[in-house]
Amino acid sequence: MMIADGIEDEEKWLAEGIAGIQHNAFYLHRAVDSNNLREALKYSAQLLSELRTSRLSPHKYYELYMRAFDELRRLEMFFKDEERHGCSVLDLYELVQHAGNVLPRLYLLCTVGSVYIKSKEAPAKDVLKDLVEMCRSVQHPIRGLFLRSYLAQISRDKLPDIGSEYEGDGDTVMDAVDFVLQNFTEMNKLWVRMQHQGPIRVKEKLDKERSELRDLVGKNLHVLSQIEGVDLEIYKDTVLPRVLEQVVNCKDELAQHYLMDCIIQVFPDEYHLQTLETLLGAFPQLQPAVDIKTVLSQLMDRLSNYAASSAEVLPEFLQVEAFAKLSNAIGKVIEAQVEMPVVGAISLYVSLLTFALRVHSDRLDYVDQVLGACVKKLSGSPKLEDNKATKQVVALLTAPLEKYNDIDTALTLSNYPHVMDHLDAGTNKIMAMVLIQSIMKYNTCVSTAEKVDVLFELIKGLIKDIDGTLADELDEEDFKEEQNSVARLVHMLYNDDPEEMLQIICTVRKHIMAGGPKRLPFTVPPLVFSALKLVRRLQGLDGEVAGEEVPATPRKIFQLLNQIIEALSNVPSPELALRLYLQCAEAANDCDLEPVAYEFFTQAFVLYEEEVADSKAQVTSIHLIIGTLQRMNAFGVENRDTLTHKATGYSAKLLKKPDQCRAVYACSHLFWVDDQDGIKDGERFKLIFRHNWT
Amino acid sequence: MVLVLAIGDLHVPYRAPDLPAKFKSMLVPGKIQHIICTGNLCIKEVHDYLKNLCPSLHITRGEYDEDARYPETKTLTIGQFKLGLCHGHQVVPWGDLDSLAMLQRQLDVDILVTGHTHQFKAYKHEAGVVINPGSATGAYSSITYDVNPSFVLMDIDGLRVVVYVYELIDGEVKVDKIDFKKTGTATSHSAH
């Protein structure tokens, strides 16, 4: 039997078929109008013969079928009206079986069957059983599918369901279920067989044609779900096992994907929850080419929504151990499908994680478990290069951040850093920015040195050069943005307890020192100011308290600050370092630590002398030195004199005369301090002024 | 009625992560005619943010600013007032009234806007008015302890300028206002 190749031919054949139907329909109507049963049967059989064609694609066949269907509806009304044709339904049932060809015979039989059931002269289950068996005679895929579809359609409202008028004695619901299941099974077989029919055709075309018919098969599952009498017990014991059996055994990937999807969509979520193990058990048995992850994701999504719908539902999830079962199932699938690319496995984990976050958001151990499974999978594969896979991993890592709005939670997930380890340097940085943005957005505070340590490990792609990517290769704008983000982050690290705060500062220092000269100018200042804020908190607590560890004291912090600012000499960043030394000097002054303040001033002067060469920079720097010095009250006369002398000396040596004037004038304030036991050394000043100004 | 935002010493990102959220929600584009900024933003992102608030943006250089091209001082005329702008680290002693008055005379302005001390100030001094908008982020300062985030909005109307100061104290935004009137060459003020 040749199937149509050319579209033009098909149109022609369809037109011929329709014409045939219309021709016979005309005579059929005449026969019915004159109550002539014999003639009606003759012309309806001829009409139905058009459906015997093998030349049409499913799409076109459907058009033909619909025409015939309309005519059969009218015919059914005629059959029902016994007064008009004078034949009992039982006789009619027998009469139509004399039709010459199988296909018309069966269509007519189904039509009469419908009338027969309605008449209640025989139990519905008997008639249905008879019909579903008889349809076996048509084994051609397309013809068979449409025939059985017709049967399904006319039987729909006549199933012996609980509360239906066709409910008989005995196990009626099971009869209804059996009937639908049998029809479904046969239809699926026919559907699968379609691909072996006729000459070899292009796979896409074949799949397309098959897809067009899939709803015919799926409809049966829908009918099953609508049967009132099908409760959880029956679903669990009969319906699901038999449907799954057919799905697995047909070994056809198109059918399997569609039907698994159907099952999930059509039956209630509570049923899925209670039959989870059975349902999931089918997945590893499916063909390797089936896109399981989409189906599984669908299932998990539905269950997540179900959980969200009401709080009462939640205990059920725990009772059936939904998470464990899903987790196992995914594991099995990944194991069974060796060919599955990494991106597939990761997206399964993303779905599972989403499920865990929505249904069991309080169970961090579940979340960690999923991450752990992912790590295991990533460890077994080569380093991620696939873009899609990387995106999935980022999605995996971002999900907990968005759910919990709190970086602390993410930091406690033991597997989180391990997942990040598997990212390449570029993606690590992207993820690191996501982490920082999350912290900034929710205004969270990272409050222990330990957490800070974990955090800086996670964002190490920003903190230092890893994996051979050099800071030089980066786009300058991007680099600045990254480092400024790190700088902002430093201000989110805080603890009220000075000891812990000092630990935090030391931890940050440890990490940023590995950053190299390009990063230090961004990361050192925020750390310095963070430390100065701590100093201010501690002001007044100078002595040493007996104990093993020396507690946080300003003195200790100034030592640390000295070392931190010192690192800028590697960059080199003399102007920045000078400013920071002056800040420290002022802070030391406020703590009454004269030698410490003096030391900072010395450092600042050294930088001024040796490194600040630009004349404009010199002007600003000397003013900063003078301004800071003017505020010092901790210095004894000798120290003050030395520094003042130096400042004045440098002021006079500035490049441009007007600048010299202004600077030296500013120095005048150094001799005239307006506090209680202040020095108002007008004479001294005049001397120096004259000395430098001739 | 001309609205002028006076703001500065944000020190983002070296001393503060960002503007306080409550300030950010108050400052929307299209409401302000001029922004005068005392300096120490410090980075381009802050510049762009301010520029987006109002294209008429005037900035002077602070000692930590990333962009070295900002001028040391700036003067502009808005309505009947001449305004002068300078970060203030150049004027020693820092925050000294008389020294600032000198700068005011030097620039020949009615209103001098300066920063550096991170402490809000608005007062009449000799021939003019000196305004310090403080630090918009409440950044650390060696000069002022316990800095509250603050900024100033000036409403210039004819010969009168009303100075509104917005301060974030214990999480709440508090507003205060001071009136200044310009009479001939001198300005007089009344505080509320």
Task: Give the nearest chain A residue to B65 (CA atoms).
Answer: A576
Contacts B63 to A, Cβ<8 Å: 579, 620, 624
Q: Please indicate whether, in this complex, the C-beta atoms of B94 and A532 are within 8 angstroms of each other.
A: no
For the cut 90, the answer to whether the pLDDT of residue A507 exceeds it is yes
CB-CB contact of A672 with A680 (8 Å)? yes
Q: For chain A, what is the radius of gyration of the CA atoms?
A: 43
Q: Rg (Cα) of chain B, in Å, rounded?
A: 15
What sign does the CA torsion over A546, A548, A553, A559 have? positive
Tokens of A579: 């400013």
Chain A, residues 315-334, CB within 8 A of chain B, namely none
What confidence tens digit (pLDDT) does each residue in A402-413 have?
888 888 888 889
Distance from CA of A565 to the nearest CA of B (A): 14
User: Does residue B191 carry a pLDDT above 50?
Assistant: no
In a domain, B94, yes or no: yes
Whether A326 and A410 map to the same domain: the answer is yes
Residue A627, chain B, CB below 8 Å: the answer is yes
Do A130 and A245 lie in a common domain? Answer: yes
Subunit contact A624:B63, Cβ cutoff 8 A: yes
**Residue A654 and residue A618 in contact, taking contact as beta carbons nearer than 8 Å:** yes
Number of domains in chain B: 1
Q: Report residue A547's pLDDT band, with 50, 70 and 90 as the boundaries.
A: very low
Closest CA to A148 of A133, A164, A127, A165: A133
Q: Average pLDDT of A422-438?
A: 88
CA dihedral A34, A39, A41, A42 (to 10 degrees): -150
A502 exposure class (CB count in 10 Å sphere: 0-12, 13-18, 19+): buried
Tokens matching residue A672 = 């005239």
Residue B186 resides in a domain: no
- List the single residue in A484, A489, A627 with the smallest CB-CB distance to B45: A484
In a domain, B190, yes or no: no
Min mean pLDDT across A592-596, A689-693, B89-93 is at A689-693
pLDDT computed for residue A651 by the predictor? 93
Compare all CA atoms of chain A with the CA of B13 and give the residue at the minimum distance.
A488
Does the N-terminal peptide bond of residue A526 adopt cis geometry, omega within 30 degrees of 0? no
Residues A483 and A367: their CA atoms lie apart, in Å, by: 31
Does B191 reside within a domain?
no
Contact flag A480-B43 (C-beta cutoff 8 Å): yes
What pLDDT does residue A512 have?
94
Instruction: Tell me the chain A residues in contact with residue B15 when contact means C-beta distances shorter than 8 Å.
Output: 491, 525-526, 529
A446: helix, coil or strand?
strand
Given this model, what pLDDT does residue A172 score? 76
- Listed ranges A205-214, A475-484, A522-531, A538-547; the one with the highest mean pLDDT: A522-531
Q: Cα A609 vs. chain centroid, distance in angstroms?
A: 58
- DSSP structure string for A287-341: -TTS-HHHHHHHHHHHHHHHHHH-GGGHHHHHHTTHHHHHHHHHHHHHHH-TT--
Residues of B in contact with A590 (CB under 8 A): 142
Task: Name the residue of chain B whose CA is nearest to A627's CA.
Answer: B92
CB contacts under 8 A, B 117-146 vs A, are 140, 142-143, 145
Give burial (CB, 10 Å; 0-12/13-18/19+) of A424. Answer: middle
Residue B146 with chain A: CB contacts under 8 Å: none
- pLDDT above 80 for A251: yes
Average pLDDT, integer, range A647-667: 92
How many structural domains does chain A have?
5
Least reliable range by pLDDT among A260-264, A467-471, B11-15, B36-40: A467-471
Cβ–Cβ below 8 Å for B92 and A487: no
Residues of A within 8 A of B45 (CB-CB) are: 481, 484
Closest to A79 (Cα-Cα) out of A93, A65, A69: A93
Residues 6 or more apart whose CB falls under 8 angstroms from that of B165 comprise B120, B122, B133, B134, B150, B151, B152, B175, B176, B177, B178
- Structure tokens of A444? 């969270």
Encoding tokens for residue B144? 């002022």
Task: Look at residue B75 in the predicted model and tell me its pLDDT.
Answer: 96
State how far Cα A282 lies from the chain centre.
25
Tens of pLDDT, residues B5-19: 999 999 999 999 999
Rounded distance between C-alpha atoms, residue A284 and residue A279, angstroms: 10
Residues of A368-395 as b/e, b for ≥16 C-beta within 10 angstroms? bbbbbbbbebbeeeeebeeeebbbbbbe
DSSP state of A510: H
pLDDT in tens, B101-123: 999 999 999 999 999 999 999 99
Q: Between A and B, how many residue pairs show a Cβ–Cβ distance under 8 A?
A: 66
Using a CB–CB cutoff of 8 Å, tell me whether A537 touches chain B. Answer: no
The domain of B136 spans: 2-181
Looking at the complex, does the CB of residue A477 fall below 8 Å from at least one CB of chain B? no
Position B111 scores a pLDDT of 95
Find the residue in A nearest to B14 (Cα).
Answer: A526
Q: In what order do the strands lie in the sheet with B160-169?
A: B57-59, B34-37, B2-7, B150-157, B160-169, B172-183, B186-191
Shortest CA distance to A428 belongs to which of A399, A402, A401, A465?
A465
Specify whether the CB–CB gap between A107 and A150 falls below 8 A: yes
* CA nearest neighbour of A519 among A562, A563, A468, A570: A570
Beta pairing, strands B186-191 & B172-183: antiparallel
Q: Is residue B97 assigned to a domain?
A: yes
Q: Write out the H or E segment, with its range, that includes residue A608.
A: helix A594-610
A550 falls in which pLDDT band (50, 70, 90)?
low
pLDDT above 80 (res B60):
yes
pLDDT at A207 over 60: yes
pLDDT-derived band at A3 (thresholds 50, 70, 90) equals very low
**pLDDT at residue B1 above 70?**
yes
Are A623 and B90 a contacting pair at CB < 8 A? yes
C-alpha separations of A689 from A652, A667, A679 in Å = 9, 9, 17
* Residue A104, SS3 per DSSP: helix
**Quick check: B20 and B138 in contact, CB under 8 A?**
yes
Band of pLDDT at residue A585, cut at 50, 70 and 90: very high
Are B11 and B64 in contact by the 8 Å Cβ rule? The answer is yes
CATH number, domain containing residue B99: 3.60.21.10
Q: What pLDDT sits at residue A681? A: 62
Which of A336-340, A389-393, A497-501 has maximum average pLDDT?
A497-501
The pLDDT of A458-465, averaged and rounded, is 90
| Closest residue, chain A, to B42 (C-alpha) | A484
Whole-angstrom Cα distance, residue A473 to residue A680? 57
What is the residue-wise DSSP string for A64-78? HHHHHHHHHHHHHHH
CA dist., res. B114 & res. B135, Å (int): 11
Q: Is A231 part of a structural domain of the chain?
A: yes
With contact defined as beta carbons under 8 Å apart, do B45 and B72 qualify?
no
Q: What is the mean pLDDT of residues A47-55?
A: 90
Q: Which site among B87, B92, B116 would you substitute to test the A interface, given the most A Cβ atoms closer than 10 Å to its Cβ? A: B92
User: A627 and B92 in contact by Cβ < 8 A?
Assistant: yes
Give the pLDDT score at B3. 95
Encode chain B in three state secondary structure.
CEEEEEECCCCECCCCCCCCHHHHHHCCCCCCCEEEECCCCECHHHHHHHHHHCCCEEECCCCCCCCCCCCCEEEEEECCEEEEEECCCCCCCCCCHHHHHHHHHHHCCCEEEECCCCCCEEEEECCEEEEECCCCCCCCCCCCCCCCCEEEEEEEECCEEEEEEEEEECCEEEEEEEEEEEECCEEEEEEC
Q: Give mean pLDDT, residues A81-88.
A: 83
* Pairing status of strand B121-125 against strand B128-132: antiparallel
- Closest-CA residue of chain B to A630: B93
Selected residue of A443, A491, A534 to mutate for chain B interface (largest B Cβ count, 10 A)? A491
Residue A692 has pLDDT above 90, yes or no: no
- CB-side neighbour CA atoms (13 Å) of A120: 6
The pLDDT of A189-211, averaged and rounded, is 80
Residue A159 C-beta-side C-alpha neighbours within 13 Å = 26
Domain membership of residue B114 (yes or no) is: yes
Q: Is residue B24 part of a domain?
A: yes
Q: Which chain A residue shows the shortest CA-CA distance from B69? A: A616
Confidence of residue A596 (pLDDT cuts 50, 70, 90): very high
Residues in chain B within 8 Å Cβ distance of A627: 89, 92-94
Structure ipTM: 0.93
Containing structural domain, residue A503: 434-542
Q: Give Cβ neighbours of residue A181 (< 8 Å, ≥ 6 apart).
A: A220, A224, A238, A239, A242, A243
**pLDDT tens digits along A291-347:** 888 898 889 989 988 888 887 888 888 888 899 999 998 888 888 777 778 888 888
Residue of B21, B64, B140 lying closest to A533 (CB–CB):
B140
Over residues A385-395, mean pLDDT: 84
Q: What is the pLDDT of residue A467?
A: 64
Domain contains A549: no
Q: Which residue of A has its CA nearest to B62?
A: A620
Say yes or no to pLDDT of A1 above 50: no
Strands (E) across A117-245 are located at: none
Tell me, yes or no, whether A565 lies in a domain.
no
Question: Which of A484, A493, A584, A590 to mutate to test binding with chain B, by most B CBs within 10 Å of its CB?
Answer: A484
Do A13 and A144 lie in one domain? The reply is no
Query: Tell me: the pLDDT tens digits for A153-167?
Result: 999 988 888 777 777
Which pLDDT score, from 0 to 100, does residue A358 have?
A: 86
- Give me the percent of chain A exceeding a pLDDT of 90: 55
Percentage of chain A beyond pLDDT 70 is: 91
Residues of A in contact with B43 (CB under 8 A): 480, 484
Supply the pLDDT for residue A181.
Answer: 94
Residue type present at position A252? D
Nearest to B17 among A492, A522, A532 (CB): A492
Average pLDDT over residues B144-169: 94
pTM of the model: 0.79
Joined tokens for residue B191: 């505080």
pLDDT exceeds 90 at position A471: no
Q: Is residue B189 part of a domain?
A: no
pLDDT digits (tens, 9 = 90+) for B16-33: 999 999 999 999 999 999
Domain boundary among A119, A144, A175: A119
Interface test with B, best of A444, A479, A576, A631 (most B CBs within 10 A): A631
| B-chain residues near A521 (CB < 8 A) | none
Spacing of C-alpha A388 from chain mean position: 12
- A99 versus B59: the higher-pLDDT residue is B59
Mean of the per-residue pLDDT values of chain A: 87
Boundary of a domain, candidates A486, A520, A542: A542
Q: Are A533 and A500 in contact (CB under 8 A)?
A: no
Provide the shortest C-alpha distance from residue A403 to chain B (in Å): 22
Work out the mean pLDDT of chain B and round it to a whole number.
91
577-616 in chain A: CB under 8 A from chain B: 579, 583, 586-587, 590
Q: Is residue A34 part of a domain?
A: yes
Does A536 sit within 8 Å of B45, measured CB to CB? no
Cα(A531)–Cα(A49) distance, rounded to whole angstroms? 93
Residues 5-64 of B with CB under 8 A from A: 12-18, 21, 43-45, 63-64
Across the range A630-647, mean pLDDT stands at: 92
Question: Residue A20: CB partners within 8 Å, gap ≥ 6?
Answer: A47, A49, A50
Domain closes at, from A232, A267, A302? A267
